């Protein structure tokens, strides 16, 4: 059906780019949230400015700033864009439950358990979005929740502790041989991750040593454990994520010395004053049941699943 004379199609992709930059005040942050390259994002802004016949942003040495025309346009378009994105998210939520999760946790703990169920919760299929960083659930209205490792609380989110984390050094038997005490590891090659630089220090502190040893860093736990299995060093295993490597005898733990970290895996969702959807509530119930069963197998006296705690308040990382 042809559009009536004088009507033009709305450039929604260009408008989405404009709103993202105006909200964040940063081309880089907006590009990350929209999963675009910086050149692609900049091109969309340029096309919108050409279409409107005016500059919307003033380019600064560091970042961008709305022009007077940009401020007026943003004030008019932002509420409408929120209505559009929220309505779209509600429709999507009705047919898909979208949860963002750490890749290593998804692969090593969550997927083996999901394979035993039909993948539907409250009659709604589950879709996993893997990301090494905590997605902004306020900005990502297409996501219903997140499973993340941390201490919490997180701003504008409610979080429930799902699984405790036990840390224990792991490696190939030939590298572990002869290790009897925590101090024995100080002269061994150690492996860690760039996302958790303080975990080794916390483990040594839990074993009575004030030490912050150097270690070879990788950008995710999966690669870290693969490096340890290849004999590149001793990694700090985080149970539950490292469990498949232990069960498959690809890695072995250092005798004794497990330390419970202050960090834990949390199930998070937006604090919007509404009760969780039926699908989210069903997923939470299943997840907590699986976690409780797993926690029984953790180290004695440290493995009990923490009491459920819904936390709100200022951010603490």
pLDDT tens digits, one per residue of 217-245: 998 899 999 999 999 999 999 999 999 99
Residue 305 has pLDDT above 50, yes or no: no
Question: Is residue 296 pLDDT above 90, yes or no?
Answer: no
pLDDT digits (tens, 9 = 90+) for 20-62: 999 998 999 899 888 889 999 999 999 999 999 999 999 888 8
Report helix, strand or coil for 100: strand
pLDDT score of 188? 92
Mean pLDDT for all residues in the chain: 85
The predicted pLDDT at position 1 comes to 46
Q: What is the mean pLDDT of residues 288-299?
A: 81
Q: Is the pLDDT at 15 greater than 80, yes or no? A: yes
* 190-193 and 216-218 strand pairing: parallel
Please give the C-alpha separations between residue 96 and each of 34, 56, 58, 233, in angstroms, as whole numbers.
20, 36, 40, 42
Residue 152 tokens, joined: 């919490």
The pLDDT of residue 311 is: 31
Predicted pLDDT of residue 9: 82
- Please give the domain boundaries of the chain with CATH numbers for all domains: 12-92 (1.10.10.10), 96-317 (3.40.190.290)
Q: How far apart are CA 317 and CA 313, in angstroms?
A: 12
Distances (CA, A) of 61 to 22, 26, 35, 58, 204: 17, 12, 23, 10, 44
Instruction: Please indicate whether residue 274 or residue 199 has the higher confidence score (pLDDT).
Output: 199
Q: pLDDT at residue 317 above 90?
A: no
Question: Is the pLDDT score of 314 beyond 80?
Answer: no
Please work out, in degrees rounded to the nearest 5, the angle formed at the alpha carbon of residue 125 by the alpha carbons of 122 and 129.
Answer: 125
Contact 190, 216 (CB under 8 A): yes
DSSP letter string over 43-92? HHHHHHHHHHTS--EEE-SSSEEE-HHHHHHHHHHHHHHHHHHHHHHHHH
How many other β-carbons are positioned within 10 Å of the β-carbon of residue 238? Answer: 26
227 in Cβ contact with 144 (< 8 Å): no
Give me the pLDDT at residue 72, please.
Answer: 96
- Which of 311, 283, 309 is CA-nearest to residue 143? 283
The span from the CA of 136 to the CA of 289, in Å, is 27
Mean pLDDT of 80-104: 82
How far apart, in whole angstroms, are the C-alpha atoms of residue 282 and residue 150? 23
Whole-number pLDDT of residue 92:
61
Judged by phi (left if over 0) then psi (alpha if -120 to 50, else beta), residue 246 lies in alpha
Short-list 30, 51, 25, CA closest to 41: 30
User: How many Å apart are CA 40 and CA 21, to the nearest integer?
Assistant: 13
Euclidean distance between the first and the last CA atom of the chain, given in angstroms as a whole number = 54
Least confident among 1-5, 117-121, 145-149: 1-5
Q: What pLDDT does 123 receive? A: 83
Q: Rounded to the nearest 5°, which phi and psi values hold at 155?
A: -65, 135
- Lookup: tokens for 297: 């197998």
Position 7 confidence tier, pLDDT thresholds 50, 70, 90 = low
Q: What per-residue confidence (pLDDT) applies to 315? A: 30
254-286 pLDDT, tens digit each: 876 789 999 999 999 998 888 888 899 999 999
What's residue 126's pLDDT?
93
Per-residue pLDDT at 298: 63
Inform me whether the pLDDT recorded for 181 exceeds 90: no
Residues 6+ apart with CB under 8 A from 263: 149, 150, 151, 165
Q: Which two tokens stand for residue 185?
A: 């590891």
Q: Is the peptide bond before 313 cis (omega within 30 degrees of 0)?
A: no
Burial of 188 (0-12, 13-18, 19+ CB in 10 A): middle
């Amino acid at each position: 059906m042809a559009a009536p004379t004088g009507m033009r199609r709305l450039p929604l992709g260009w408008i989405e780019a404009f709103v993202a930059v105006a909200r964040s005040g940063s081309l880089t942050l907006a590009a990350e949230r929209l999963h675009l390259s910086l050149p692609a994002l900049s091109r969309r802004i340029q096309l919108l400015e050409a279409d409107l016949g005016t500059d919307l942003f003033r380019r600064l040495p560091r970042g961008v700033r709305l022009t007077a025309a940009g401020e007026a346009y943003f004030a008019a378009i932002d509420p409408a864009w929120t209505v559009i994105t929220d309505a779209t998210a509600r429709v999507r939520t009705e047919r898909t439950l979208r949860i963002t999760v750490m890749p290593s946790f998804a692969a090593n703990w969550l997927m083996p358990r999901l394979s035993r169920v039909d993948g539907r919760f409250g009659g709604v299929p589950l879709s996993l979005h893997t990301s090494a960083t905590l997605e902004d659930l306020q900005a990502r209205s297409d996501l219903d929740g997140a499973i993340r490792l941390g201490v919490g609380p997180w701003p504008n989110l409610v979080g429930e502790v799902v699984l405790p984390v036990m840390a224990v050094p792991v490696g190939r038997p030939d590298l572990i041989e002869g290790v009897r005490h925590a101090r024995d590891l100080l002269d061994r090659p150690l492996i860690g991750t760039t996302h958790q630089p303080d975990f080794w220090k916390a483990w040594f502190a839990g074993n009575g040593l004030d030490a912050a040893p150097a270690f070879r860093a990788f950008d995710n736990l999966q690669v870290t454990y693969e490096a340890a299995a290849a004999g590149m060093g001793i990694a700090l295993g985080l149970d539950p994520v490292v469990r498949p490597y232990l069960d498959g005898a690809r890695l072995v733990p250092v005798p004794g010395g497990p330390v419970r970290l202050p960090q834990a895996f949390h199930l998070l969702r937006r604090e919007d004053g509404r009760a969780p959807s039926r699908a989210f509530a069903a997923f939470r119930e299943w997840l907590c049941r699986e976690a409780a069963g797993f926690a029984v197998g953790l180290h004695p006296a440290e493995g009990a699943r923490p009491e459920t705690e819904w936390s709100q308040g200022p951010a603490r990382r």
